[in-house]
Homo-oligomer: A and B are copies of this chain.
Amino acid sequence: MDKKLYLGIDVGGTFTKLVLVNSACRVAAKNVISSRGFSDKAFFARELRAAINSMLSRHKEHLSQIKGAGIGLPGPVDFKSGVVLSLTNIAKWNRFALVSYLKRFFSFPIFIENDANCMALAESRLGAAKGASYALCLTLGTGVGGGLILDKKIYRGPFLLGGEIGHSPVALSGERCPCGGEACLERYVGNRAIMARIKKEFGRTVSLEEVSSLARRGDRKAIKIWDDVGRYIGLALSGVVNVLNPEVIVVGGGVSLAGGVLMRSIKRSVRKHAMKHLKGKVKVKRALLGSDAGVLGAALLAKEKLANT
């Protein structure tokens, strides 16, 4: 076993994952706990602390090897001060000093980061954007998240909301978005929007998996749904392509499991809207690390932060 180990934690809406990885990001231990009740900040903090302790006590032999921990959270965080600014859909979570709290119980350094940024970091180091210095990672789910890697580093921006391509507007007017914007990409291609569209087209609720399967078998309505979703995603991506010229765009998240029919539509839309000098250069790829990207990215964050200090 490698001498140095890093703890990665990915706080999700349903589950929270923990991994212990070595310097090569090989997973030495793994655990998953329920995120139920995490809307209560104090409860969340206690549960997280207990989950870390449980991981440590089951791997006592490695205790001295653990050099740091990274935590990915579904909302904007101030990675410098260790404060969670807010959590998506949880109003009571404003400005929680998570790192300060955990520091009282653990001796290793702890870092926090937005979960889409963690995913982008992992895909750029180990996944679909490996080797690229400039990459945009898009996660398609209930929310549409984005993480941006510029010059090999996570781009956070001066107001710590960098990479939020899910809130790129794709029309002059449309549905209001909880983010405060209007006609955001997420209103067109988020899980709920797709489900509403399916219900309208099919007259009943059909699962995303079933619609993907129907599309593969040539069902016109199903194909049209994924095609339209891809057109909107490609529209928003093309704006980023022309402004930032990323080498790779990684598409992940549950909705991306729709597969080929969606990916082809996204690529077509990017080819249609991107500048001619960029069309052949920007690669649009499916995420490689699946649902583990976030937790691996959190561990990588700790590893890289400690390597640079």
Which positions in A face B, CB cutoff 8 Å?
76, 85, 133-134, 146, 148, 150, 155, 157-165, 167-172, 179-184, 231-232, 235-236, 238-240, 242-247, 272-279, 281
Contact = CB atoms under 8 A, between A and B. Distances in A.
Q: Pick the most buried of A158, A232, A240: most chain B CB atoms within 10 A of its CB.
A: A158
Contact of A150 (B150, B165, B273): B150
Contacts of A231: 172
Contacts of A182: 272-273
Given A134-B157, A238-B181, A168 B276 contact: no
A160 B171 CA distance: 28
Contact of A243 (B148, B247, B276): B148
11 contacts: A157-B244, A157-B246, A159-B247, A161-B275, A163-B243, A164-B243, A167-B242, A167-B275, A180-B277, A181-B272, A236-B239
B240 A157 contact: no
A174 to B, nearest CB: 10
Given A150-B150, A181-B272, A239 B159 contact: no
A283 to B, nearest CB: 12
Nearest to A279: B180
B159 A245 contact: yes
B247 A158 contact: yes
Given A161-B275, A179-B276, A180-B277, A168 B243 contact: yes
A76 B277 contact: yes
A192 to B, nearest CB: 19
